[in-house]
Every structure is written in structure tokens, then in C-alpha cells.
Amino acid sequence: MSAPKKTITAAVLVIGDEILSGRTKDKNIGYIADFCTNVGIDLSEVRVVPDVEKEIVDAVNALRARYTYVFTTGGIGPTHDDITADSIAKAFGVEISENPEVIEMMLTRFKREDLNEARRRMARIPHGAQLVKNRVSTAPGFWIGNVIVMAGVPSIMQSMLDAVADKLETGAKMIIETIDAGGLPEGQYAAGLGEIAAAHAELSIGSYPSFTDGKFKNQIVVRGKEAGAVANGVAKVEALLHSLRADRTPI
Amino acid sequence: MSAPKKTITAAVLVIGDEILSGRTKDKNIGYIADFCTNVGIDLSEVRVVPDVEKEIVDAVNALRARYTYVFTTGGIGPTHDDITADSIAKAFGVEISENPEVIEMMLTRFKREDLNEARRRMARIPHGAQLVKNRVSTAPGFWIGNVIVMAGVPSIMQSMLDAVADKLETGAKMIIETIDAGGLPEGQYAAGLGEIAAAHAELSIGSYPSFTDGKFKNQIVVRGKEAGAVANGVAKVEALLHSLRADRTPI
């Protein structure tokens, strides 16, 4: 058996007034959460902040100190409210200027006379950052320190995430098993489930009620990084549910 | 004219491993964002944290110190991973115990012999909190200080938000006008839009590209709390777009 992989963590920082006003419904948090789970990164925190420099700087600095990676989305377009690149430069205490490579990339799409000041704004990259290209637009994101700066438009964000995926350090992949508790109410299995969880610190066990068509449906999720431990946890949860169902319909 | 209303702010704190793992896609942030905008509360920050006491306590204390209200979602069910109520009590430094009124409410649904330890867990309410009832379940949320603690299941959360809506202090309602920039690229209007934004600090002006069916579509949003100022901003943006469109198709 190979040595256990270390834990890799991440935070997502969503930047944009439009999410906080409700105008735009975020689709990136869930996508990045799935991505992290799939590659073995523990997404540990998410923040959404407005297009205000101090808020962005403070959040970036708080998060990059705590987690292996910080993924930001939003605020890298050409308009006055796109202040992410400048805020990231400020957070890192580095200069920012027009990046010649980005200008070249943009010239593959725009005529030189159409490359006005606003569009050139998208070529402003903090010094020391690596570009993160995408398939959709000629304006890149960038990667500086442990912070990966991406667009807010989901299709572009997803393409940027693809571009960095191979370069991220990843940990042991989380194995996730879902057990359907059927019509059994949470309140009946909560005590037994709590005992299983307490006895297995190596697992994360959760109970998730959902309410659809006037009925509650409960699912129990067992997560862990070691297949044997997860299988053992699942067996114990299934035995618990079986014993409770047997209680309900005594023969 | 009446005196201008003061600004009321809020934060949302989403509590739950299932959001961070991607297993559950959050639907509450966008709903609460719309709610706040509609009633005149400025939603200013969102955080998502795991089911870890210290993370919840730290986030609640950071947010309640900064904003008029904090809305939390998730972690108030009967299972071992539902630690929100205890974490909130800890954040406020108050005791927590079984609330007799909640037990009475639950007895309208459960027989006394079915009110086991796990279900009674949902009756644990921090001392000094007011109950926040809902139409869907007999287990309430609660309101303590400036923190409103709600369920994670969207239908229950929405019902709890209805229950507190009349009691929230609200500010001047944000007036939001959306202008379709049609096929005009952001890069063409960004400079002019930036000038309008800089000249009108009383407005928040944003540009929002979206990418659908292989085409960018841009919308410009003008937000403000005074109708005349918003109308003036909209007129200036429309004049800008008109002049740019005229530039493109010279007669």
C-alpha cells in the first residue's frame, strides 16, 4: 500500500454585487465543490463578497493563509466594476500592469484599433502571476501564489478550471456512499447514527433530509478516504436501518 | 419627502458539509438575496462553513458584529451533525436547553413515546432566543440577538423567512433597472460606462456578460435608492449605448 496522501484544502471566493443582490444565481460554487470532491481536494469554506476592494483584499488574505488553494470567480472583465485583478495585486503587495502575452492573445481576436482602454484592462495581470487560458474568451485568468483567479461566467470559469486541473496538488480522493433511509424518519435513526459516527472518527457521516411532493426523504452519506473504513461504516448504517425497520413491522 | 431611510445590512451563513462537498447544491443563498433586495436590506456577505463548531462560532461572531442581521441556514435537525443551535449558544455565550414550548409543538405531531432523544434535540434552543415557526415542520428555527437561525431544507427555510419578514427592520428599497446592451461588446462601452459610474457615486452600475448558445449577451444594471437618480443614470447609459450603436453603423 502506498503512503497516505496528505490533505489538500481549498476555499472559493465569489466576487460580485450581482450574486449578493440576487440578480445572478451562482452556479460556480456547486461546480467547484464537485470538482474538488472528484480530484481529492477538501473544499473547506466559501465566501461571497461585493465588488469592493477592501472586502476582496481582506477575504483573499484571510483565505490564502488558511487553505492550500483559493479559487476566485468574477470581476475580471473590462468594465469599471471589474476590480478583481487590481485587488489581488494589492492583497499580494505586487505591481500590476498590462501583460504583453495577453495583448498578443487578444490581437488574435480584436483588430489593434479595437483594442481600446477597456479591453486592455483585461490584460492587466499582477506581476509574478501565471496566465490561465480558456477556450471561450481570449481574456485569461491567472494563478498567483496559491490563488487561482477565474471568470464569473460559468462556461469560462469551467474552462479555466480545466486548464489548471492537472497542475493542482490533490489529496486522497473522498469515497462517498449514499444510503437511502427510505421513509424512516431522521428522528428514529439519529441516536444510532450518532453512535456510529462517534465510534468512527475516520468517517464523516451525514444525514440529509429533503422535502419533495409533501414527503420527507432521508439519505445518509458516509464519507471517508479509505475504502475499507467506508465499507465498514456503510455496513453498520445498513444494519441500523434494518433493525429499525424490523422494529416497525414486527412479525 | 420623508427622511432617507438608514442602510440595513445582512449576511448569510450557510452551515453544512453537504454544500462544500457538492452533494447538495445550495438554493438558499439566491432566495435570501432576492428576499433582501425586495425588502430593502443590503445583503453584504455570504459564507459557507462546514459542520465544525469552531468554524460556525467564528463565522457567526465575525458576521454578527459587522451586519444588521445574520441569516443562517442548515444544521438544526435531529442528527449528530446538526450542531448549529449549540454552536450559536456558544457564540453568544449563553446556555442552551430543551425548550418546553417546542416540546409542546412537537407533541402535536409525535406521540410522547416517539419523542426520543434525537427528536428532542431539535427542541434545544439557546436561552434568550425567540422561536421562528414554520408551516412545514414542527421544529422551529430561532432568533437571538441579530442572528436568525433557519433550516437548510429550502421549503422550511422559506417558511421561516416568511415568519420573520414583518419583524425585520428594512431600509430604503433598492431600485434596479436592467438595460439590454444587445450584441454590443462590453469592451466597447466599458470606458463610457466607467465615466458614468464615476460621476454618480449614488448609483451602483454593473455590466453582466452571459454566454449562451455561443453568443455573448450583455446587460447593464443601474441600482440606486432614489428613483430620480436611477432614471437619470438609465438615461445616460441608454444615450451611451445609442451613440456607440450609431458609431457602428454610420449612415
pLDDT of residue A251: 39
Q: B55: which chain A residues are within 8 Å (Cβ-Cβ)?
A: 45
Mean pLDDT on A70-88: 95
Task: Please answer yes or no on whether A186 and B77 come within 8 Å at the CB atom.
Answer: yes
Q: A34: which chain B residues are within 8 Å (Cβ-Cβ)?
A: 22
Q: Which of B79, B114, B221 sits opposite A207 (nearest CB)?
A: B79
pLDDT of residue A159: 93
Domains in chain B, start-ordered, CATH in brackets? 9-165 (3.40.980.10), 175-248 (3.30.70.2860)
CB A143 within 8 A of CB A198: no
Q: Taking CA atoms, what residue in A is nearest to B25?
A: A30
Mean pLDDT on A69-96: 96
Residue A2 pLDDT grade (very low, low, confident, very high; cuts 50, 70, 90) = low
**pLDDT for residue B5 is more than 60:** yes
Query: Mean pLDDT for chain B?
Result: 91
Residue A173 pLDDT grade (very low, low, confident, very high; cuts 50, 70, 90) = confident
Task: Please answer yes or no on whether B20 and A187 come within 8 Å at the CB atom.
Answer: no
Residue B156 pLDDT grade (very low, low, confident, very high; cuts 50, 70, 90) = very high
Q: What is the C-alpha to C-alpha distance for residues B146 and B130, in angstroms, rounded to an integer?
A: 11
List the single best residue of A29, A119, A178, A240 to mutate versus B (max B Cβ within 10 A): A29
Q: A155: which chain B residues are within 8 Å (Cβ-Cβ)?
A: 211
Helix (H, G, I), strand (E, B) or coil at B97: strand
pLDDT of residue A85: 98
Chain B contact for A128 (CB, 8 A cutoff): no
Q: A50: which chain B residues are within 8 Å (Cβ-Cβ)?
A: 44-45
Q: B191: which chain A residues are within 8 Å (Cβ-Cβ)?
A: 116-118
pLDDT of residue A247: 67
Vertex A193 angle, CA A187 and A194, to 5°: 95
Mean pLDDT on A174-179: 89
Mean pLDDT on B24-40: 95
Q: What is the C-alpha to C-alpha distance for residues B237 and B233, in angstroms, rounded to an integer?
A: 6
Q: What percent of chain A has pLDDT over 90?
A: 71
Chain B contact for A7 (CB, 8 A cutoff): no
Q: Are strands B124-126 and B96-98 parallel, antiparallel or unpaired?
A: antiparallel
For B81-94, how does the pLDDT look when each residue is reduced to its tens digit (9 = 90+)? 899 999 999 999 99
Whole-prediction pTM: 0.88
Mean pLDDT on A19-44: 95
Residue B250 pLDDT grade (very low, low, confident, very high; cuts 50, 70, 90) = very low
Q: A188: which chain B residues are within 8 Å (Cβ-Cβ)?
A: 116, 118
Q: What is the C-alpha to C-alpha distance for residues A215 and A150, in angstroms, rounded to an integer?
A: 40
For A123-151, how does the pLDDT look when each residue is reduced to its tens digit (9 = 90+)? 999 999 999 999 888 889 999 999 999 99
For B170-218, how does the pLDDT look when each residue is reduced to its tens digit (9 = 90+)? 988 888 899 999 878 888 999 999 999 999 999 989 888 777 666 778 8
Q: Å from B163 to nearest chain A CA?
A: 19
Q: What is the C-alpha to C-alpha distance for residues A5 and A68, in angstroms, rounded to an integer?
A: 14
Chain B contact for A238 (CB, 8 A cutoff): no
Helix (H, G, I), strand (E, B) or coil at B124: strand
